[in-house]
């Protein structure tokens, strides 16, 4: 008997008597303003929310905040850093200073943004660049993770991720350091609709 059969048979003979799978509501009514809450949550985890009206708002902000950046890439065709075809070898992104990508929606309770592979160009872009910026419609913010998964079920993906702020560590005496392995900053541009 192979390991698979051994493990499965052992489980079958040992497992607990059937217990029900609970059903649950996903609409916990948090009456506060999702947009406001999202911005607060994002700031609290080290991210930054920036409201914009036109695409120029993004280029202006980048020029002002990150004047010394040499390599910026984006999957958004309206932006000057647009890369129509991403290279196959992700290692070539090592010197990318800033990636600007679209996100699907934000989550008010924790400041996270849901991003899937189709918006990344390559799966490595959100992690390998020194800084990250995501672009969201201001109206695309859900209240909780429960609502988030309701929405996720409608968008199929091969790789999807919640990104909540810059990468961070507190491993050295619990001192928070932004920029562990991934981006050192995360800006979310919220486009007025």
Partner 1 sequence: MDTKEKTADHASRASAFNRDEQRVNWHDKTLWFVREKRDKAAWQIPEWEHLRELASQIKDNVLSNLHNYLIQFEKQASSNGIIVHWAATAQEHNEIVYDIIRKKGVSQIVKSKSMLTEECHLNEYLLEKGIDVVDTDFGERIVQLAEEPPSHIVLPCIHKKKEEIGALFHEHLGTPEGSSDPVFLAAAARADLRKHFMKSSVALTGVNFAVAETGEIVVCTNEGNADLGVQLADTHIACMGIEKIIPQRKHLGIFLRLLARSATGQPITTYSSHFRKPRAGQETHVVLVDNGRSERLKSIDFRNALKCIRCGACMNTCPVYRRSGGHSYHYAIAGPIGAILAPSLDMKKYADLPFASTLCGSCSNVCPVKIDIHDQLYRWRQVIVKNGYVNPGKSLGMRTMSTVLSNPSTFRWIGRLGRLFIKHLPFLVNHKLNPWYKKREMPAPPAQSFHQWYKTMRTNGK
User: Which residues ranging from 100 to 119 are in contact with partner 1 (CB under 8 A)?
Assistant: 107, 109-112, 117
Regarding 126 and contact with partner 1 (CB under 8 A), the answer is: yes
- Shortest CB 51 distance to partner 1, Å: 22
Applying CB under 8 A, among 50, 69, 76, 145 the residue interacting with partner 1 is 145
Residue 190 pairs in a beta bridge with 51, 136
Among the residue ranges 58-66, 74-82, 86-94, 98-106, the one whose residues contact partner 1 (CB under 8 A): 86-94
Look up residue 127 and give its two tokens: 């992690």
Among the residue ranges 58-66, 75-83, 95-103, 151-159, the one whose residues contact partner 1 (CB under 8 A): 151-159
Site map for partner 1, 63-82, x if CB under 8 A? --------------------
Query: Cα–Cα distance between 92 and 118 in angstroms, integer?
Result: 19
- Shortest CB 102 distance to partner 1, Å: 18
> How many CB atoms are located within 10 Å of the residue 120 CB?
20
Q: Which of 193, 192, 171, 191 is nearest to 181 (CA)?
A: 171
Among the residue ranges 49-57, 59-67, 68-76, 159-167, the one whose residues contact partner 1 (CB under 8 A): 159-167
Residue 114 pairs in a beta bridge with 105, 162
Question: Distance of CA 29 to CAs 24, 147, 148, 193, Å?
Answer: 14, 11, 14, 24
C-alpha gyration radius of the chain = 20
């Amino acid at each position: 008997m192979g390991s698979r059969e051994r493990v499965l048979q052992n489980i079958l003979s040992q497992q607990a008597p059937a217990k029900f799978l609970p059903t649950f509501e996903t609409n916990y009514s948090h009456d506060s303003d999702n947009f406001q809450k999202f911005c607060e949550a994002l700031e609290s985890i080290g991210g930054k929310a920036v409201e914009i009206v036109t695409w120029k708002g993004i280029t202006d902000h980048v020029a002002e905040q990150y004047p010394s950046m040499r390599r910026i890439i984006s999957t958004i065709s309206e932006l000057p850093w647009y890369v129509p075809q991403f290279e196959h070898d992700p290692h070539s992104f090592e010197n990318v200073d800033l990636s600007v990508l679209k996100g699907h929606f934000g989550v008010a309770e924790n400041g996270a943004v849901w991003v899937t592979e189709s918006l990344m160009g390559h799966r490595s872009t959100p992690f390998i660049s020194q800084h990250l910026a995501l672009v969201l419609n201001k109206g695309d913010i859900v209240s909780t993770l429960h609502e988030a998964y309701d929405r996720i079920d409608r968008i199929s993906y091969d790789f999807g991720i919640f990104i909540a702020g810059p990468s961070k560590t507190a491993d050295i005496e619990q001192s928070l350091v932004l920029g562990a392995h991934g981006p050192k900053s995360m800006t979310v541009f919220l486009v007025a609709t």
